[in-house]
A = this chain, B = another copy of it.
Amino acid sequence: MVAAGFTVIRVGESVWSTWEPEPGRFDLEWLAPVLDAAHERGIRVVLGTPTYAAPMWLARLYPEINVRRSNGEQMGWGHRQEIDYSHPGFLLHAERIIRAIAARYADHPAVVGFQVDNEPGNEIFHNPQVFQRFVDHLRHRYGTVEELNEQWGLTYWSHRLSTWADLWTPHGNAQPQYALAWRRFQASLTTDFIGWQADVVREYARDDQFVTTCIAYERPAVEDEAMTRRLDVTSGNAYYRMQDHLALPAATEGSQAWMTGGTWALFQSADRMYGSKQAPFLVTETNATAIAHQWVHETAYDGQWRQAAWALVARGAAMIEYWHWHTLPYGAETYWGGVLPHSLEPGRVYEQIAQLGGELRTAGTAVTGLVPDAPVGLVFSDPTKWALADFPQLATPDGEGDPRTFQRIADAFYRGAFDAGLGVRVLHPEQLVEREPADVVASQPVLVAAGLTILDDAQLDWLRRYAQAGGHLVLGIRTGYEDEEARARPDRKPSHLHEAAGVWYDEFSSLTQPLEVVGSDALPLGPGAHATAWVDGLQTTGAQVLATYRHPHFGRWPAVTTHTSGAGRVTYVGTVPDAELGRAVLAWAAQTSGVDAGWRPQAETQTSHGARNAAGEQLRFVHNWSWDASTFTLPVEVVDLLGGETLAAGSVLELGAWDVRVLREVR
C-alpha cells in the first residue's frame, strides 16, 4: 500500500457480528493492530459503524425488523440492508455497538473521520410499524381527514376517508399525491437515521475528525441534499463502466445509474456529489477491477484509472478510495475485484493505481480545495425524481413507463453542456431558495431547469427572479407543471414562468420516433438535431423562435424559443433534446451569456475541464478518451503539474492513448 501511494483506508463497517458475536458480548480489540500498523505507515483511517449489516442473532430476536415488500412479503436475510432502521428495537442495539466502537477508537491517532452506516436508503420499508408512522405523519401534517381529502382530491374513485383508519396501504395505491408523500416520508427515515448516528458519533469524535456516510446516489430512499446537511462532508460512490464505455466520441448514449455508462456520466457523478453540499467531497468507493454483477467484468484499459481519478479530482474529489484493497475469496462480492486479485499478487491493476499514487503525491496541495469551473447550473430535484419514477411521463423503447423520466430529461441537458465543453454545477431547489438569484447568476450565468414537475410556488418564483437578475434560464418540459403535492397546476404552463418565457402551452405529445429539428440564423443546427420523446405545444406571446419541428402537425409549434426577461433571458426547450440539439442549445446559451470560450476540447476524443484550487490558481485537466493520440494547442502558458515543465502558450500537448494532462495556468 505504501509503495503504491495509499494514504487512507476505510475499515470496520459491515462486520457487526465480529464486533458483537452475541448480544451484549463485545469484541473490540481485533482492529487495534490494523489501526496501529496504518498509523506507523502514515496511512489514515476512516472508521465505519457496522449498522448496514445486522448480525443474525439480531434478526432472530427481532424478526419484525426485516424489510417487507409492498405485498407484505419479507425481504429475507442473507444479504445486507434488510433492516427497517427506523425500528426502536434495532436502534437500541445499533446505538450500543456504535457507542462501543466510537468510545474505543475515537482517540486513535490514525482515525481522521467516521463513516456512519453505508449506502443507506436502499429499501422502501413496507413494514406495518412503518406504515403506522406514516399515517401519524400525515395526521400531523394535514390535521384532519377532511383536509387530506381536499388536498389530495380524494373524491374521485371514492377515496375520501372517514377516519385515519381508512387509509389504504401503498400496495394497491394509484394516487400520485399519496405516492409522493410516501416517498418523501421514506427518505426522511433515512435522513433521520443517518443524522441520529452522526450525532451519537460526534459525542466521541475529536474536533479534527469528520463524520460522513457513503452515499450511493441512486438508492430509492436517499435525499442527498437534506442528508448531507447532517454531515460534515459529502462522501459518495463513483462506479462507472470501463473499457470502450469511456470512449469519445461515444458509441452509445450512456446512462447515469448506480454504475454509469459514458464519460459524461462519470463527470456527472462527481458533479452530483459536489452539488450535495456545494463543496468538495470524498469518493469512498470507485472501480478497482471488475465491479458489479459477476457477469460484468470490464477491467480498465491501461491509462483509464488515471483518467477517471483525475476527472473526479477535477470536479472536486478530495479523496479517491478504491473498493477494495484485495478481492474476497467468498461471499456475494467474490467477483467485485479489488486492487489485488484473488492470488493477492500485485499485478497490472496495482501498477496502474500505483502510478496514479505517484502522480497525486507529485501534484500535492496544488490539487486540493478545488472549486470546479461550472458556468452552467443544473437543477436536480429528488421529489421530482420520485414522482416521475412512480408515475413516469416518458416511455422506454419497449413502450413501458420510464422510471428514470426525470433523469433522462436532466441528463439530456447535462450531456449537452458536456459535449459543448462546459462544466456543470448541480444545484438543488432547496439550496437555491436560500440564496440571492444574483449570487447564483455570478457563478452560473446559465441555469437549466428541465423536467422539474414538482416545484412549489417559491421555487418557481425564484427561477423567474434568476432571469430577472441577469441569468439565462433554460427551461425544459414539465418544469412548472405540478405543485408540491403532484397536482397539475390549474393555469397555463409553464406555471409562474410563461410570461417571462414569452410562451405558454396547454397541450403536449409523446414522440415514439425522433423528430427532425430545424434551426435558425440565431441558432444554426446541423442535420443531426432531433427532438425525442416529447413535444410541448408552445404558443408564443413575444418569444423569439429559435428552432422548429419538420412535421405537418408538430411543425405548428416552435421547438426552442427565447425571450428577454428583466436583465436576463428565458429560453424554452419544448422537447428532450438529442445530443446534437442539446449541445447546440447549451453552446448557444453559454455564448449569449458571455461564457469564456477558451480551453474547449480540440478533438472529438478530448475533454477539458477547469477548476480553481485553494490557492486561487486556475487548473486545467485535458483528457484524451481514445486509443488514438491527439494534440491540444495551449492557449496560455502553463505548468504541467505531473511532469513539472513549463509550457509556453501555443505549444502543442501530445496526448497518448487514454491519456490525461494536469496543468496550472501561469498568469
A residues sitting closer than 8 Å to B (CB atoms) are 14-18, 21-22, 50, 53-57, 59-60, 70-80, 82, 152-163, 165-178, 243, 289-290, 293-299, 301-302, 327-335, 341-345, 347-349, 391-395, 399-402, 405, 485-493, 506-510, 534, 537, 552-553, 627, 657
Q: Which of B17, B301, B508 contacts A155 (CB 8 A)?
A: B17
A257 to B19, CA, bound (A): 47
Q: When the two chains form their complex, are residues B153 and A332 in contact, meaning their CB atoms are under 8 A apart? A: no
Cβ A492 vs Cβ B343 within 8 A: yes
Could you pull out 12 A-B pairs where Cβ atoms are within 8 angstroms?
A: A21-B160, A57-B162, A60-B166, A70-B76, A71-B74, A79-B157, A79-B174, A156-B331, A295-B393, A295-B405, A343-B491, A345-B506
A167 to chain B, nearest CB (A): 7
Within the assembled complex, what's the spacing in Å between the Cα atoms of A508 and B399?
34
User: Which residues of chain B come closer than 8 Å to A508, judged between CB atoms?
Assistant: 297, 299
Given A243-B553, A295-B510, A552-B627; 19 other pairs, CB 8 A cutoff: A56-B162, A56-B167, A56-B168, A57-B162, A70-B76, A71-B76, A78-B174, A176-B330, A177-B330, A177-B331, A294-B392, A294-B401, A295-B393, A295-B402, A299-B507, A301-B553, A329-B487, A334-B391, A342-B488
B506, A153: Cβ atoms closer than 8 Å: no
A59 to B157 CA separation, bound complex (whole angstroms): 13
CA distance in complex: A243, B554 (Å)? 11
Most buried by B among A162, A301, A395, A405: A162
Do B329 and A158 have beta carbons less than 8 Å apart? no
Q: Which residues of B lie under 8 Å from residue A334 when comparing CB positions?
A: 176, 391, 487-488
Q: Are A171 and B74 in contact (CB under 8 A)?
A: yes
**Contact A490 to B332, CB < 8 A, known contacts A162-B21, A294-B392, A394-B295:** no
Contact flag A330-B153 (CB < 8 Å), given A295-B394, A301-B553, A627-B552? yes
Cβ contacts under 8 Å, A299 to chain B: 507-509
A78 touching B159 in the complex, CB below 8 Å, given contacts A243-B553, A332-B175, A509-B299:
yes
Return A667 CB to nearest CB of chain B, in Å.
39
A342 touching B73, Cβ below 8 Å: no
| Beta-carbon contact of B154 and A393 below 8 Å | no
What number of copies of this chain does the assembly contain? 3
Please determine whether B157 and A14 come into contact, CB atoms closer than 8 angstroms. Answer: yes
Q: Are A78 and B178 in contact (CB under 8 A)?
A: yes
Chain B: minimal CB distance from A539 (Å): 9
Query: Which residues in B have their C-beta under 8 angstroms from that of A490?
Result: 329, 342-344
One of B50, B158, B328, B329 near A18 (C-beta < 8 A): B158
- On chain B, the residues within 8 Å of A343 by CB distance are 490-493, 506
Interface of A is mostly: loop
Do A158 and B17 touch across chains, with their CB atoms under 8 A apart?
yes
**Minimal Cβ-Cβ distance residue in B for A297:** B510
Which of B76, B405, B493 contacts A171 (CB under 8 A)? Answer: B76
Please give, as numbers and ranges, the residues of chain B lying within 8 Å of A72 by CB-CB distance.
73
Q: Return chain B residues, CB-CB under 8 Å to A57.
A: 162-163, 166
Measured between alpha carbons, how far is A485 from B331 in the docked complex, in Å? 11
Structural contact, A327 and B488, CB atoms closer than 8 A: yes
B402 and A174 within 8 A (CB): no
Q: By the criterion CB–CB under 8 Å, are A341 and B507 in contact?
A: yes
A341→B492 CA distance, assembly (Å): 9
Q: Which residues of B contact A330 (CB under 8 A)?
A: 152-153, 156, 175-177, 485-488
Chain B residue nearest to A392 (CB atoms) is B295
